[in-house]
Structure 1
Amino acid sequence: METDSKVKLTSLSSKGGCGCKIGPADLGQVIRSLPPAEPNPNLLVGLDTSDDAGVYQLNDDLAIVQTVDFFTPIVDDPYSFGQIAAANAISDIYAMGGTPLTALNIVAFPITTLDKTILADIMRGAADKAKEAGITIVGGHSIDDKEPKFGMAVTGIVRPDRVRTNAGAQTGDNLILTKPIGVGIMTTAIKKEQLQPEEIARITEIMATLNKTAAECMADYPVHACTDVTGFGLLGHALEMAKGSNAVIAISSEDVPVLPRARELASLGFVPGGTKNNYSHIQSDVTFPDSMDQIDQWILCDAVTSGGLLISLGEQHAEALLTDLKAAGVEAAIIGEVTSEGAGHIIVI
C-alpha cells in the first residue's frame, strides 16, 4: 500500500491537465441519439437546453435545482482537490440563481493502493467547502477504482420566477466575468512541475473560491442570463448563451482577465486536449480578428475548472453590479456585450 500522503495525485490521472468534461461535440452527438424526454409542465429547465442544472417546479413559490459534477485530481494536495471539486459542483446552483442546500459525495478511489488518509483529506476539504456554502452533506456513493475521482451531486432551491438561464441575453446587455481564465493551461503546467509553489497556491485559491459572493451580488440586479464558465471554456459557454438567446455576442479580448503566465505556458505547449477540443467545436461559430494568433485563441477556449460566472444584464446596471462585485472582493470585469439578435455567434474584438 502507498503510505505517503504526499503522493502526486495528478500523476494518477490518465487524462491529466484540467480534468475536463467530455468535449461538447462528442457529448452533443450522444445526447442527440437519445429519445426525447416526455413533456413535463413542472420541468422548467431540462435536457433540451445547454444550461448548468435542471430545475423542477414543486409549487408556485418553490423549485428545486439539481446538478452533478466530478473529475480526476488537478492539484496534488488532497484537501485542496476536495475543496475545488466541491466548489466546482456547487457552482451550477449559483449560476441558476439558486441557493444550494444538500450534497451527495461521489467517490472513486484506489482504496487498496493509496493511503486512506488521502481520501479522508479529499472528503474533509469538500466538507469544509460545503460548510462554507451552507450545505449539508447527506450521503454519497463510492467505488474502488484505479484512478481517483471526486465530486458532488448538489440540490438547491430557487423561486420559479427567479431562475437564471443562459438563454435570456438581450441586445445591449453587457457581459461580466467573475474569475480569470487560463486555469486549464495552469493545471496542465502543475502536472508537468512548471509552476512555483506560490503560483500553485494562487491557482488553487481561484478554483476553490465559491461563486456564492458573486451570486449574492447578482441577486440584487435584473440579470437576463447567467452561466458558469467551466469545461467548455469562456467562448464555449458564451456561445451556448448566444445560441440560447438567439443573439450575437462580442467579446473584447483585451478586457478578459487571464492568469499570469498562461500565455507563456501555452506557447511552451502546456495546452490541454480539452482546450483544443473546445476550439475545434466553436471555431465555425466564432469570428476571430486576423491579428489574433493561435495561442490567444486557445486561451479564450481554455477548459476551466471551477470558473467564474458569466452574467448578462443591461448596460445601465452593469457598472453598478461590477462595483458591488469588486467591493465584495470578486475579481470581476466587463468583457463584452450583446450586439444584436442573430443565429448565435461570437465576435472576438
Structure 2
Amino acid sequence: MLRLTQYAQGGGCACKIPPGELEDVLAGMGLTTPDDPSGELLVGLDTGDDAAVVRIERGTAVVSTADFFTPVVDDPYDWGRIAAANALSDVYAMGGRPLMALNLLCWPRETLPYDLAREVLRGGAEVAALAGCHVAGGHSVTDQEPKYGMAVTGLADPAKLMRNDAGRPGLPLSVTKPLGLGVLNNRHKATGEVFPEAVATMTRLNADAAEAAVTAGVRCATDVTGFGLLGHLFKLARASGVTAVLDPSAVPLLDGAREAVRAGYVPGGTRRNLDWVTPHLTGDADEETMLLLADAQTSGGLLIAGEVPGATVIGELTVRGEHVIVVR
C-alpha cells in the first residue's frame, strides 16, 4: 500500500512557512492593507486574519480564502476530506457561509497513480457538499510533492463578521475542538498507526460552531491551524490590543496526544510555533504542556472570544499587560 505521507517532507498545516519568517517577508515588502476610501475592503492583510472580506452591497460581504497542504494522513480520501474542511474553516472563522470552491491540486504524476488523486478529489467534493458549497473546477500542476486544498468564496453579513482584532477585556476564551492533531499526525507519518478520533476531528466542519458563535453575538474569533493555539491566540490578542490569560488545564486534548509528545513525535512546525510566541508570554507550565499548546493543528476548531454552546472555556481576555499571553 502506498503511504502518501512518505511523499512529502512536511505534513498538513505543519508544513506552513513559520509565522515569524512569514511576517518578516511581508514586512520587508511593505505590504499593508491599502487605504480604501470606498469602505469596501473590510478585512485585509494587516492583522493576518483568516480570510479577506469585501463589502459588495449593503448587507452582503464576500469572504475569500485559499488553503492547501501536503498529505497529513495516508488515506487519499481522508486527506481530501481533511483538506477541504480545513479550507472551508477560514470562511466559518469569519462568520461566513461557503458558497463556491475551486480545487488546488499538485501531483507527482510520475510516481503516484491518478487513482489516488481521484480519491483525494472525491473526499474534498463530499465535504464541500456537506457544507452546501459548490465545487466548480480548479487548477492542477505537476509537482514533486502531492498537495491539495481549495480556494473558497463565501458570503457574510458585514455587521456580524468575526475578526481577530475585535477582542475586548472581560471576554472569555473558548475552543471548539481538542488539541493534539499535529503530534498524532506526526506519529501516524512515522509509524503508520491510524488515529480515528483525530481523523474525525479534522473532517468535522466548523459550520455549527460558527453559526452558534454568530448567533451568540461573538465578534472576535479565529481558527486553530498551523500556528497552534498559542500562535493564533497571540495573533488575536496582539491585533486586539489585549492580554490573553490561558488556563492550560482547561484545554481539551485528543486521546494519545500527551503520549505522542512524550514519545518524541513533535512536528518541527510545533517547535517553531513555540519559539515564535515564547518572547511574548509568561507562565510556568511544563515543556510537554507548552508543546501541546503550540502544536501545529490541521483543520482544528475555532478559537472564540466568547462563550457558546459546545465550546470549552479555556481562559479570558484582560487589559493589555506586560505580556501578550499569560499561561497560568
TM over 0.5: yes
Determine the structure 2 residue equivalent to 1:33. Answer: 28
- 2: CA distance, partners of 1:48 / 1:166: 11
Equivalent residue, structure 1, for 2:281 = 286
Residue 3 of structure 1 aligns with which residue? Answer: none
Equivalenced residues, count: 325
Match runs of 1:179-328 below 5 Å:
179-193=177-191, 195=193, 197=194, 200-289=195-284, 292-313=285-306, 318=307, 321-322=308-309, 325=310
Gaps of 5+ in 1: 1-5, 326-331
Measure the CA separation in 2 of the matches of 1:62 and 1:343.
39
Per mean C-alpha deviation after superposition, the further-off stretch among 278-287 and 15-24 is: 15-24
Instruction: Quickly say closer, same or farther: Cα 1:7–1:194, change in 2 above 3 A.
Output: closer
Q: Deviations over 1:34-69 (max 9, x none)?
A: 234532231110011111000011112111000000
In the TM superposition, 1:34-53 aligns within 5 A as 34-36=29-31, 37-40=33-36, 41-53=39-51
Partners of 1:125 and 1:18 in 2: how far apart?
18
C-alpha displacement of 1:217:
1.3
What stretches of structure 2 of length at least 5 have no aligned partner? none
Note the C-alpha offset of 1:7: 0.9
What's the CA shift for 1:162? Answer: 1.2
- 8 Å Cα contact 2:174-2:312 kept in structure 1: yes
| Mapped contact 1:214–1:309 kept (Cα < 8 A) | yes
Change (3 A) 1:235 1:271: same
TM norm structure 2: 0.96
Q: Kindly indicate whether the alpha-carbon contact (under 8 Å) linking 1:246 and 1:344 is maintained by their aligned counterparts in 2.
A: no
Q: In structure 1, what is the equivalent of residue 8 of structure 2?
A: 13
Task: Determine the C-alpha separation between the residues in 2 that align with 1:25 and 1:282.
Answer: 9
8 Å Cα contact 1:245/1:344 also seen in 2: no
SS in 1 for 2:258: helix
Aligned equivalents of 1:18 and 1:190: distance in 2?
A: 15
Match of 2:312 in 1: 333
Aligned partner of 1:61 in structure 2 is 59
Aligned partner of residue 283 in structure 1, secondary structure: helix
The 8 Å contact of residues 18 and 188 in structure 1, kept in 2 or not, is answered as no
Q: Percent identity?
A: 43
The amino acid of 2:143's aligned partner reads: D
Aligned 8 A contact 2:160 2:219 in 1: no
C-alpha separation between the residues in 2 aligned to 1:82 and 1:141? 15
TM-score, length of structure 1 as denominator length: 0.90
Query: Structure 1 residue 18: deviation in Å?
Result: 5.2
3-state SS in 2 of match to 1:259: coil
**2:297 counterpart SS class:** coil
**Secondary structure at 1:111's aligned position in 2?**
coil
Q: How does 1:130-141 map to 2 (within 5 A)?
A: 130-141=128-139
Q: Distance in 2 between matches of 1:299 and 1:98?
A: 29
The Cα offsets for residues 300-338 of structure 1, whole Å up to 9 and x where unpaired, read as 10000000001112xxxx2xx23xx2xxxxxx3111111
Farther-moved stretch of structure 1 (14-23 vs 216-225): 14-23
- Cα distance in 2 for residues equivalent to 1:121 and 1:230: 24
Of 28-37 and 140-149, more deviation after overlay is shown by: 28-37
Hey, what's the Cα distance between the residues in 1 that align with 2:55 and 2:323?
28
Per-residue deviation, 1:168? 1.1
Residues 8, 71 of structure 2: 8 Å contact kept: yes
Aligned mates of 1:302, 1:268 — CA distance in 2: 15
Secondary structure at the counterpart of residue 219 of structure 2? strand
Aligned-residue Cα RMSD (Å) equals 1.4
